[in-house]
Structure 1
Amino acid sequence: MNPKVKLGAVAMLAAAAMTTTSIVSATSATAAPANTADRTITAAAPGFTKPTPQGQKNAIALAGKAIAAQEKSLVKSEDDVFSLEKATSVGGAQYLTYNRTYKGLPVYGGGVVVATDGAGLKVSTLETAQKTELNLDVKPSLSARKAANKARTLVAKVESVTTPKLVVHALAETGAPRLAWEVVVSGSSKTAPSVQHVYVDALNGSILSNWDAVKMGTGNGFYNGQVTIATTPSYTMRDNTRSGLACGGQGGTPYTKSTDSWGNGQGTNLETACVDAYWAAQKEWDMLKDWFNYNGFNGRGGGFPARVGLNQVNAFWNGSYTNFGHNQANTQQATPMDVVGHEYGHAIYQFAGSGGGGGGGNEDGGLNESTGDIFGALLEHYANNSNDPADYTVGEEVNLVGQGPIRYMYKPSTNGDPDCYSSSIPNTEVHAAAGPQNHWFYLLAEGTNPGGGKPNSPVCGGPSSLTGIGIQKAGQIYLASLQLRTTSSLTHARARSATLTAAKQQFPNSCTEFNAVKAAWTAVSVPAVSGEPSCTIQNPNDFSIAVNPATVSVQAGASASATVNTAVTAGSAQNVALTATGAPSGTTVSFSPSSVTAGQSSSVSIATSASTPTGNYTITVNGAGSSVSHSTTFKLSVTGQPGQDDFSVSVNPSSATVNAGGSTSATLSTAVTSGNAQNVSLSASGAPSGVTVSFSPASVTAGGSSTVNISASSSVQAGNYTITLTGTGASAAHGTSFALTVNGDTGGTTWQEWKQYNAGDVVTYNGASYRCLQSHTSLPGWEPPIVPALWQAI
């Protein structure tokens, strides 16, 4: 027997603090050293920088702009309002979830998830499950009482029924949006507890959809040995450092005692069972923080209590707390690490993304059960407890029903569960339906032949040999994918697409993880879906630079100002040093500050002197980063002193794109800026070889205009060129710039960020042509090659 371990002086010193750290006996037949569970925290998974408070503010601001720009793709009606529900992070990506209301009613299935990079400067995805613009009456025909009575029919023994709440039911898979009553009925079926979330049609009384918050699990009973747990000063099993976390009996009250020594090491002792459950939940909380930069079980710093002493051969999560029973032999409680990790994994699944809980179908249920198994395995690997070596089996220690493990993640068919996906999965019992995704996770983490004593794993398709990326990276990708849920029901096809998207978001500088995710899904026979993401390697760290306004006018001897804006376009922010060239004589250009971190702005001061020649000039602003440099231009128009005959020159449009062998035109306009009108002769310079520029007419009187004709021969080299258009008068000469892009066989990009594109529009990107498939406003990171759902290569 393992004797109780006294905390002694440590307990007395800790009693003055808000939280004490207790050394306790867990369900261990042989006492282990007090530091058995101590370990060095594994470093955070590579590939991300934790978002800063400013990055979080940036993400919220950018997400709001993205939603406003994408109202059409979000099928927003005039009566829709979006409000931020939560902002979470996984690794280096941020996920912002928005609720939708219609005429003041919550919209079930209308949530929106916006994903950005860690700096909050680039949108990677913007998703919603709603497919139809809402246009319906919000006056119910069915009373709330009748809706509650209808919902009660789904639970055999009813204990409580919530007050029905009127909502709009807009899940795409259930048909057209309908007005509905949402009712939560708690009770039990003939064999298990049940918390049914029911949506009753508010017009005809039919049940539109329902899902059960109770997710049944099964136990694995191995012993943790002597471990440390955080308790309150009054020796109550409640954690003040991890909100909501506590453990007690079936009444829901946390265990309390007069000393800080817990449990007797016996498998049937309930206080000992709470030690196991409580310690494992604390470790899972720490794992989410240390490995994935995730805050609590709900992503917002929230946790949930545990209960022990359930008189069932089972364990479950009911939407509010975890509950643990015992094995069939009733020799030990079902509170080991992988069971605890499994049940709290259901909580993570329920509160991730905008899914609103869990779907009612078996396929979603199988993915939910697999999620529990995945977090159980992750917890064992993180805790690194020698009393329970990490593995990929479920229930191997508790011998729940006398037959050893209940599931094998590396080869589910060992226990008769499917190794791979097939059309029968949606009709397979939920625990068995966990097989394909469990198998996928093992292949992603460990590969087919990991060695080191870990079991080999078969494949059902694709290459016969896969190399794993490690369980920490695999867990990071899977947790991130859950944040992208925008519907209550998840399918294997959606899981495949979401994990591929998450791999790109979490590891933007490499396609290794993305390709491993894809290969693992292929290996378990989950096929590609339409619009599936692809991966191309970008510059690891990159930025963009722009000047606003693009044209600055100033009278000789005066000063003017503009702003240089920078943004992170790939990887992490870097220091950018700013300089300028091209200023006319007598003019100085300075920056405040002279260097910025990509994503920040700088003020540009342009100071002219009385001797600065009048005219139009192109000033180049250079941004020199640590890994790459970029430049941009703005136009400076310097006017003469009052009383002098002078004029200005401008061109509209100021840029154009042509194919080699093509032509374009623009209008050059002049205006009298002081004194009298004068004759202005027109000329052009800076055109590349093979490009001709002509004017019709070749001279005008100031105040007149001329057509600029630009022709590119088939031999013109593709590229971006600046052509200066000059007007020379009797007393002054002025110029303006025209940006010409020539598309050849290997270059040219006409696609632009933050521009409205309509279905059928054709653009070029790096020399390739694409046709728009859906009308949208282009967001940063939505380039045609990486968003096949919006652009089709032609």
Structure 2
Amino acid sequence: MNRKNALAAGVAAALALGSVTVVVTQSTAASRPTAAADTSAARPGAGFQAMTADARGEAIRTAGRNAAATARALGLGPDERLVAKDVLIDADGTRHVRYDRTYRGLPVIGGDLVVHLAEDGTITGSDLAHQGAIRIPGTTPKLTAADASAKAVKHAKHVKHAKAGSKDSTLVVYAVGKIPALAYRSTVTGEGETGPASREAVIVDATSGVPLDQYELHQSITGTGNGVTVGQVSIETTQTGSGYTLTDAAHGGTIVYDSYNSPQSNPKQNARPFSKTTNSWGNGTNSSRESAAVDASYGLAKTWDYYKNSFNRSGIRNDGRGAPAYVHVDTSLLNAFYDDNCFCMYFGDGSSQNSNTPLATLDVAGHEMSHGVTAATANLTYSGESGGLNEATSDIFGTMVEFYANNAGDPGDYYIGEKLNMPAGYMRRMDNPAADGKSLSCWTSSAGSADVHYSSGIGNHFFYLAAEGTGAKTIGGRSHTGTTCNNDTFAGIGKEKAAAVWYRALSTYMTSTTNYAGARTATLQAAADLYGTNSQERYLVSKAWAAVSVGTALPDPGTGTPTPSPTTPPSGNALTNGSFEQGTSGWTQSDSIITNSALQAARDGSWYAWMMGYGADAVESLSQSNIAVPSTGTPKLTFWLKVTTQESGSAAYDTLKVKVNGTALATYSNANASSGYVQKTVDLSAYKGQTVKLEFAGTEDTYLSTVFLVDGIAIG
């Protein structure tokens, strides 16, 4: 959690409500000790207990009763409320409670968070989409809802001929950026990827009308197909009197409807369940409307079974309920998609471009149902890097469902939509995303500006490398090549372990605003939970991220623990433990500054210094004495600094000073905010050959927080 909440910990420590004792610490769950913390033994699946619907409901109700105390412990403001969304329980009794946030009754976009609790109810850490309390000047907008809708129509970029009325705009607090703002979330409709009734969310500032974000609401997989692919399979049906329906009671009562070409905006308009007097369905061709329904029913059942048997997850929302599915939606619809608004899945019939082949293949069903799982867990915003992660998650689990089903007609591989008769033979390739000429195989600073279906390539590529490693392979009868962005070579951990890591990261640590750097942090934490902090699995996960240009690889645990530098190091390396990988060794700190908290990312390795971020009057210091400055050349202090702030403008409200023997040689402030670590250099020529004290001194004012992260300090 944000360290500004550390001040509230002392008050919250003694507070107990029901089964939850609120004791807030700086560390996230990353530092929670467990018996298996340093072993390579895997927990079953992603480590979660199976829960009945009643048990899950009671756990959520308990979390709701404790919401107010939790909000106070986290340092949230008096106008904020937490709404319990889900609870996951580890095999050792650890709980992970996911909350949404409101501000004066308004929903907060980007306000979601996860609170981690030990078995005794002690809060051990938290992951917040927006750090700290929400502060906005007021909740009275200058724009009306009609004004906002007009602005949204003007700014919509995912649909053409956009339309929206005043009833389509809702007042919210938008907290995805650095500074929360009062905003409108508008739903516009128009012609887009998902057909003539495509929908897009457009968020505009409620004062100025400036667009803040926009993204598709139908999270889709689009392409052409080549007919029924699952062949002759067994499906679950329900007998009703003298007949049967495609109602799958074994999988939450999932019902497959014939939409009878109802518009995608209202798939129920002409819909009715498939029913007949015999229990034989379809003929494998489009001459029977049942054939597409067989594909959908089989694919959704296999997806349900995969999540249940792999992660103890019971359905999309983990509540045992099946989502309705509609085949033969609209006319000439070359698409399939999940819609959380109706908790349903749509499958189009294709068009003349693909010989009118329905889009209900196995990996498509797994992909779409997994969009629902993402919506029920991290709820990754469908734009920017989080949108790419959203799409990657569906590709990852759609692929895992294909492997799980073990269908002879559609063997598992890392090609997406390979049964859809695409010109290239697939829609996307996880082993080499850039092969399609559009997708990203490697992270770049512009990844957040790419279409989410293309930026998903970064996550897809990571997963393939984590699962299979590098080198050429034939998988499912198809050629795969484990290329990397850094020319590294390494082995994979296996697809089941890689999927367990991703699922645990998604459901336990990711939030709506998680980006690729955050996904790396989340998966490293998940790997530590499942296989141990010093496991080969965690190390290889870091290698896979480095191979797609996200962060650097951790030290190989097989090489042993690095030996700390001596107190008086040789010339050119005049500092002890400048990377903090030996924890606090060599340093004096005024608070728990040196950390391996998973909430932030180190520049290298796992440890770093986290200074300030209280959002209140505070001072901190981190120092080391008896440092021998080299007596030759031009000695310099170098270090990496990342600054994030809630402040705005160029005025320096919160500062970090670099001092040598008490003299400030450099000052950095909220005005130096950066998206990542930036290397800084301070000339030490005036101290050549001397023994000095180096100090980093932080100061924060009473309003709004600034976080200074420091790593990789060296003198030479």
Deviation at 1:195, TM superposition (A): 2.2
Kept in 2, the 8 Å contact 1:166–1:179? The answer is: no
Match of 1:101 in 2: 102
Kindly report which structure 2 residues correspond to 1:514-529, keeping only aligned pairs within 5 A, or say none. Answer: 514-528=538-552
One-letter amino acid of the structure 2 residue matched with residue 48 of structure 1: G
Q: Where do residues 168-317 of structure 1 align in structure 2 (5 Å cutoff)?
A: 168-173=172-177, 175-189=178-192, 192=195, 193-219=197-223, 223-234=229-240, 235-243=244-252, 245-250=254-259, 251=262, 252=268, 253=271, 254-267=273-286, 269-310=288-329, 311-317=332-338
Q: Is the 8 A contact 2:185 2:203 kept in 1?
A: yes
User: In the superposition, relative to structure 1, how do residues 450 and 246 fare at CA in structure 2: closer, same or farther (>3 Å)?
Assistant: farther
- Kindly provide the amino acid, as one letter, of the partner of residue 229 in structure 1: I
Give SS of 2:281's match.
Answer: coil
Q: Which amino acid aligns with 1:50?
A: Q
Displacement of 1:522 after TM fit?
Answer: 0.5
8 Å CA contact 1:134, 1:177 repeated in 2: yes
Q: What is the alpha-carbon distance in structure 2 between the residues aligned to residue 172 and residue 288 of structure 1?
A: 30
Higher normalized strand content (fraction of residues)? 1
Q: How far off is 1:112 after superposition? A: 1.7
Whether contact under 8 Å (1:217, 1:314) holds in the other structure is: yes
SS of residue matched to 1:247: strand
Change in Cα spacing, 1:447 to 1:176, as seen in structure 2 (3 Å) is same
Q: Secondary structure at the match of 1:76?
A: coil
Which runs of 5 or more residues in structure 1 are unaligned? 1-42, 538-745, 750-757, 777-783
| Alignment partners' CA distance in 1, 2:435 and 2:584 | 56
CA contact (8 A) 1:160 1:185 kept: yes
In structure 2, the CA distance between the partners of 1:448 and 1:258, relative to structure 1 (3 Å rule), is: same
Aligned residue number for residue 521 of structure 2 = 497
Deviation by residue 1:33-59 (Cα, 9 ceiling, x = unmatched)? xxxxxxxxxx98457362679999899
Distance 2:428 2:163 in 1: 33
Query: Take 1:59 and 1:451, find their aligned partners in 2: how far apart are those partners?
Result: 45
| Secondary structure, counterpart of 1:227 in structure 2 | coil
Contact 2:473 2:481 in 1 (8 A): no
Distance 1:226 1:119 in 2: 51
Q: Post-superposition shift, 1:255? A: 2.0
Relative contact order higher in (CA < 8 Å, ≥ 6 apart): 2
Match in the other structure for 1:333:
358
Corresponding position: 1:360 with 2:383:
yes
Letter of the aligned partner of 1:344 in structure 2? M
> Where does 1:746-765 land on structure 2 (aligned, <5 Å)?
760-761=590-591
Distance 1:332 1:268, change over 3 A: farther
Post-superposition shift, 1:209? 2.5
SS at match of 2:392: helix
- Cα separation, 2, equivalents of 1:62 and 1:533: 36
- Contact between 1:90 and 1:293, CA under 8 Å: does it hold in 2? no
CA distance in 2, matches of 1:126, 1:140: 30
Cα distance in structure 2, aligned partners of 1:770 and 1:197: 38
8 Å Cα contact 1:88/1:94 also seen in 2: yes
Instruction: Identify the residue that residue 773 of structure 1 maps to in structure 2.
Output: 611
Deviation at 1:152, TM superposition (A): 4.3
Contact 1:760 1:773 in 2 (8 A): no
Q: Could you say if the C-alpha distance between residues 162 and 243 of structure 1 is closer, same or farther in structure 2, counting changes exceeding 3 Å? A: farther
Deviation of 1:384 after TM superposition, in Å, equals: 1.3
Matched, 1:474 2:475: no
- The AA in structure 2 aligned to 1:79 is D
Equivalent pair of 1:129/1:486 in contact (CA under 8 Å): no
Deviation sequence 1:49-89 (CA, Å, 0-9, x none):
626799998999799889857858x5511222223122245
The Cα shift of 1:429 comes to: 3.6
Query: How many aligned positions are there?
Result: 516
- Between structure 1 and structure 2, the one with the greater Rg is 1
Q: Return the alpha-carbon distance in structure 1 between the equivalents of residues 146 and 205 of structure 2.
A: 13
CA distance in 1: counterparts of 2:164 and 2:583, whole angstroms: 67
Q: CA RMSD in A?
A: 4.4
1:147 paired to 2:168: no
Residues 329 and 189 of structure 1: CA distance in aligned 2, closer, same or farther (over 3 Å): closer
Mapped partners of 1:65, 1:536: distance in 2? 40
- Structure 1 CA distance, aligned partners of 2:529 and 2:427? 34
Q: Report the equivalent of 2:23.
A: none
SS at match of 1:262: coil
8 Å Cα contact 1:359/1:489 also seen in 2 = no
Residues 469, 489 of structure 2: 8 Å contact kept: yes
Aligned to 2:697: none
SS in 2 for 1:399: coil
Structure 1 residue 281: deviation in Å?
A: 0.6
CA–CA separation in structure 2 for the residues paired with 1:335 and 1:87? 32
| Structure 2: gaps (5+ residues) | 1-41, 263-267, 559-581, 596-606, 615-621, 623-641, 643-706
Mapped to 1, the partners of 2:222 and 2:193 lie a distance apart of 18
Provide closer, same or farther for how the CA distance between residues 89 and 452 of structure 1 changes in structure 2, counting only shifts above 3 A: farther
Residue type at the aligned position of 1:196:
E
1:459-484 Cα deviation digits (max 9, x unpaired):
43557322222212211211222225
Q: What is the alpha-carbon distance in structure 2 between the residues aligned to residue 763 and residue 770 of structure 1?
A: 8
| TM-score relative to the length of structure 2 | 0.62
Q: Establish whether residue 346 from structure 1 lines up as the match of residue 350 from structure 2.
A: no
Residue deviations 1:542-576, cap 9 Å, x none?
A: xxxxxxxxxxxxxxxxxxxxxxxxxxxxxxxxxxx
Residue type of the partner of 2:381?
Answer: G
Write the distance in 2 (CA, Å) between the matches of 1:90 and 1:404. Answer: 41
> Is residue 91–residue 293 contact of structure 1 (8 Å, CA) maintained in 2?
no
Residue of structure 1 in register with 2:84 after alignment? 84
| 1:747–1:415 distance in 2 versus 1, CA, 3 Å | closer
C-alpha separation between the residues in 1 aligned to 2:254 and 2:239?
15
Are 1:50 and 1:118, in contact at CA under 8 Å, matched by a contact in 2?
A: no
In structure 1, the residue corresponding to 2:354 is in which secondary structure? coil
Mapping for residues 288-437 of structure 1, pairs under 5 Å: 288-310=307-329, 311-319=332-340, 320=342, 321-325=344-348, 326=350, 328-330=353-355, 332-353=357-378, 355=379, 358-361=381-384, 363-400=385-422, 402-416=423-437, 417-437=439-459
Distance 2:517 2:594 in 1: 31
Partner Cα separation in structure 2 for residue 176 and residue 122 of structure 1: 27
**CA 1:77–1:90 in structure 2 vs 1: closer, same or farther (change >3 Å)?**
same
User: What are the within-5 Å matches in structure 2 for residues 14-93 of structure 1?
Assistant: 45=44, 48=47, 50=49, 68=69, 71=72, 74=74, 76-88=76-88
Moved more, 418-427 or 338-347: 418-427
Distance verdict in 2 for CA 1:329–1:57, change over 3 Å: closer
Partner of residue 590, structure 1 = none
1:99 shift after superposition: 2.0
- Deviation, 1:286, is 1.2
Cα distance, 1:482–1:52 mapped onto 2, change above 3 Å: closer
Cα 1:426/1:183, change in 2 over 3 Å: closer
Q: Report if aligned partners of 1:759, 1:773 keep a CA contact under 8 Å in 2.
A: no
User: CA-to-partner distance for each residue in 1:297-326, whole Å, 9 max, x for gaps?
Assistant: 133434422222241333233434322233
Q: CA deviation at 1:764?
A: 10
Instruction: Indicate how the Cα distance of structure 1 residues 301 and 509 shifts in structure 2: closer, same or farther if over 3 A, else same.
Output: farther
Query: Is 1:84–1:96's contact at 8 Å kept on the other side of the alignment?
Result: yes
Task: Identify the residue that residue 647 of structure 2 maps to in structure 1.
Answer: none
Q: Distance in 2 between matches of 1:145 and 1:244?
A: 40
